[in-house]
Amino acid sequence: MSPTHHTIACCMHGFSPTDSNGLPLQEAAPQTWAGIFSTLTGLGFTALEIADSHIRPADLSPERRGLLKDLAASAGVELTSIHVQRQSIIDPERGEANLDYAHRTIDAAAELGCQVFSTGLHQPFSQAQREALWFWTAKGWTDPTDPEVRALAVRRLRELGRHAAEVGLPMSLEMYEDTYLGTAESAVRLIEEIGLDNVGLNPDIGNLIRLHRPIDDWQEMHELTLPYANYWHMKNYQRDEAADGSWFTSHPTTMRDGLINYRAMVTRAVELGFNGPFLMEQYGGDSLGVCAENRTYLAGLLSTAPSTKGTTGP
């Protein structure tokens, strides 16, 4: 399969959420936004995921939203997706407000010509996570075991999925620890409970293998989730652990050099018919440079992966 059949986008982690004067990107001047697109194209990217930690298209004026779209188009950059993060629709205090925000973001994603609307159930960082060197080493939110709360998640995600379908968008749910998307089994069951053809998984197993605790087998997690995948955040980590479970450690690395064998997993995804966009994601150091290196690596994998027909989905 040729890599041209898949969009390979870059994340926004490598960009500051404020401009040089401390102004949030949401409010930044057009030249600041244009600078982001110029940096991307200089790295060889032609696609970007808009993270709402940096820019919230749903909260832009129609004029500013149009400007964002025009600047991207002028630079030759596709706005592949809008990723809504840490705005859980089952947050005990802000769930309904977050649901409304997600609906508005779906409309914004359609207006910007995105390929997918991306979200999840992860919550804002805890104080311990904000203070940690790597946030995943500290304790964060855990979704409750209450079946009524899980049922609420299904209802609200189904509502969002139907809205996304109405505007012609797939909706992808990112796997994330200690949420209802925190294990392969629970994530697959959630997709099946939602029961919509356009709602699938973002099998970001990287979020799970970095944890300083026992983890499930990464190959088994991919095998369970890839048939449901419609978007894919890709990153990798070096991981080591004691055989007796007394210590664990992890740190970001390239897709090639980490625990997950992406050569095998991309080949498997293509065999299953995966045809969604890929998102290069990285934390720490020159994350944009690593994303560019990972894009080249992934394009090589796709160029040699066995071709197949069909698409993945629930």
Q: Which residue carries 């809008």 as its tokens? A: 82
Given a cut of 80, whether residue 47 has pLDDT beyond it is yes
Question: How many residues belong to the chain?
Answer: 314
So what's the pLDDT on residue 305?
83
**Half-sphere exposure of residue 135: CA atoms within 13 angstroms, side-chain side:** 15
Average pLDDT over the chain reads 95
User: Which amino acid makes up residue 179?
Assistant: T
Predicted local confidence at residue 241, as pLDDT: 97
pLDDT at 313 > cutoff 50: no
Q: What is the mean pLDDT of residues 124-140?
A: 95
Which tens digit of pLDDT belongs to each residue from 204-248? 999 999 999 999 999 999 999 999 999 999 999 999 999 999 999
For residue 205, the model assigns a pLDDT of 98
Domains with residue ranges and CATH for the chain: 3-304 (3.20.20.150)
Q: What digits encode the pLDDT tens for the residues 249-294?
A: 999 999 999 999 999 999 999 999 999 999 999 999 999 999 999 9
- How far, in Å, CA of 7 to CA of 174, rounded? 18
Asked if residue 192 has pLDDT above 80, the reply is yes
pLDDT at site 308: 46
Q: Write out pLDDT tens, residues 91-114.
A: 999 999 999 999 999 999 999 999
Position 307 scores a pLDDT of: 64
